[in-house]
């Protein structure tokens, strides 16, 4: 056992009181002047931990034994928990997960955005804590004896694929499809992608499942080549699972560059219904990950945006028009912008199906098109739903300097949101009015945020 005040070394055993939960799901303790991040520990617990790595100013440790347990600790429901890198909060009760994520958002805003008392509401929960994912991606790899395996990345060793018996984040039919695809690919002699040698065929299986229509779409990401057995795998999937409406192939070269997309069987899209909107979702387009909570997210966004009948609203990263359609019903005009041709085409189809003639969609890069679009007269509000990396700096500055009265920013990464909030403040003009965290990713540390800004 390490003496109090002694310098920490890898392999040291510590007794720690855990005071907080860091973004990423690790407990936070202190020893010898170091912050110690402890995998598997929860706030309020006393634990025995073993130091794994010592960095400048902090250390990382693994929980060896819980001496005093938190009342929020629960038994993880998944047999793969701890081995699989997909979930990291299954040992914390779902109710406590939402509260912890709210606290983490507040902490990140203080540390990265410089906000001492940010206007963060209580976390919103939506849907069940398991079987909520609209899409899951499973990767092929090489298992023991050189045999192909299909699963998820192993915790702590992301280059290694862990075979999965059951993933609780998707409904059971997805697990049956994954198991069938793995077994049939092996029987057909289809090889897997070798990441070291940069060759091979099968890379990834994506499964999208619509809850209201019951439609399922499978996407096979592959290397180059055209073996007849690949078409056989697709046809077998459709025959074995009548809910599978199509199997799509997305092909990549040996340098991981996207080459093209083709339909192996059926069609390249499915339909999902949210609050009466029948939405076309192409295989390669983004859709909200939490199928059960998507409607609740849209409600929160609309409440923050507060669209009015006389207003013209610009939406960045509009995707298939998930937010656009609902906002268009309450405004004079919606203009949606996205770089994905498939997403924009689907958005136009979705708006036409909904009978919304006041929604216009442009297929352009946000960084390039934004300055000109902001100069158009009459922009009353701006809605943004960027990828996890957040906004390009040029876009942040253009928005901050524009005359748009209010901005709603939907983010799946509170760290990049906090960075952009700081950039808005430094550029002047926009003030954070409210921020609502939504726990749309139960069992993981991820959290969705809806931030409302007003012109100062």
Q: How far apart are CA 49 and CA 133, in angstroms?
A: 33
Q: How far apart are CA 314 and CA 305, in angstroms?
A: 11
Structure tokens at 138: 């499973």
Using left for φ > 0, alpha for ψ between -120 and 50, and beta otherwise, residue 432 falls in beta
Q: Catalytic residue numbers?
A: 412
From residue 245, how far is each of 134, 229, 288 by CA, in Å? 15, 19, 20
- Using only the alpha carbons of the chain, give its radius of gyration: 24
Structure tokens at 373: 């679009």
C-alpha 273, offset from chain centre: 20
- Closest C-alpha among 56, 10, 2 to residue 31: 2
Evaluate whether 138 touches 162 at the Cβ level (below 8 Å). no
- Closest C-alpha among 283, 195, 187, 199 to residue 229: 187
In terms of Cβ atoms closer than 10 Å to its own Cβ (0-12, 13-18, 19+), residue 258 is exposed
Structure tokens at 114: 């410089």
The half-sphere exposure of 443 on its side-chain side, counting CA atoms within 13 A, is 24
Q: How far apart are CA 217 and CA 266, in angstroms?
A: 9
- Closest C-alpha among 62, 41, 40 to residue 51: 62
Q: How far apart are CA 306 and CA 303, in angstroms?
A: 5
CB atoms within 10 A of CB 432: 20
Sign of CA dihedral 424, 425, 426, 428: positive
Structure tokens at 376: 């158009």
Structure tokens at 263: 């339909």
Evaluate whether 64 touches 49 at the Cβ level (below 8 Å). yes
Sign of CA dihedral 314, 315, 320, 326: negative
């Amino acid at each position: 056992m390490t003496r109090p005040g002694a310098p920490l070394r890898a392999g040291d055993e510590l007794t720690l009181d855990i005071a907080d939960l860091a973004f990423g799901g690790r407990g936070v303790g202190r020893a010898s002047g170091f912050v110690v991040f402890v995998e598997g520990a929860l706030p309020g617990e006393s634990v025995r931990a073993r130091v794994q790595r010592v960095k400048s100013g902090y250390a990382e440790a693994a929980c060896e034994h819980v001496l005093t347990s938190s009342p929020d600790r629960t038994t993880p429901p998944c047999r793969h928990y701890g081995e699989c890198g997909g979930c990291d909060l299954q040992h914390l009760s779902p109710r406590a997960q939402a509260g912890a994520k709210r606290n983490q958002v507040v902490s990140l805003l203080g540390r990265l955005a410089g906000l001492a008392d940010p206007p963060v509401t209580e976390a919103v929960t939506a849907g069940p804590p398991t079987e909520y994912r609209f899409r899951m991606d499973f990767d092929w790899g090489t298992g023991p004896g050189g045999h192909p395996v299909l699963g998820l990345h192993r915790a702590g060793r992301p280059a290694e694929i862990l075979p999965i018996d059951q993933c609780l984040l998707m409904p059971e039919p997805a697990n049956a499809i994954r198991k069938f695809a793995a077994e049939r690919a092996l029987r057909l002699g289809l090889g897997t992608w070798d990441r070291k040698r940069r060759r091979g065929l099968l890379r990834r299986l994506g499964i999208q499942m619509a809850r209201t229509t019951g439609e399922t779409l499978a996407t096979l990401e592959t290397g180059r080549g055209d073996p007849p057995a690949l078409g056989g795998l697709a046809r077998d999937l459709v025959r074995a699972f009548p809910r599978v409406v199509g199997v799509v192939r997305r092909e990549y070269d040996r340098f991981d560059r996207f080459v093209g997309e083709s339909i192996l069987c059926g069609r390249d899209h499915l339909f999902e219904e949210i609050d009466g909107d029948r939405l076309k979702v192409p295989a390669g387009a983004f859709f909200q990950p939490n199928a059960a909570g998507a409607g609740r997210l849209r409600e929160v966004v609309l409440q923050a945006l507060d669209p009015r009948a006389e207003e013209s609203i610009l939406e960045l990263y509009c995707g298939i028009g998930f937010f656009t359609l609902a906002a268009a019903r309450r405004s004079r005009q919606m203009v949606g912008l996205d770089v994905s041709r498939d997403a924009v085409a689907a958005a136009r189809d979705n708006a036409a199906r909904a009978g919304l003639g006041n929604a216009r969609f442009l297929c352009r890069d946000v960084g390039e098109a934004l300055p000109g679009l902001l100069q158009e007269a009459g922009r009353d509000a701006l809605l943004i739903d960027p990828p996890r990396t957040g906004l390009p700096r040029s876009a942040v500055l253009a928005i901050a300097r524009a005359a748009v009265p209010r901005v709603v920013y939907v983010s799946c990464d509170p760290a990049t949101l906090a960075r952009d909030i700081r950039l808005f403040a430094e550029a002047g003009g926009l003030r954070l009015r409210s921020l609502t965290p939504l726990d749309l990713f139960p069992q993981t540390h991820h959290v969705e945020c809806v931030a409302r800004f007003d012109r100062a």
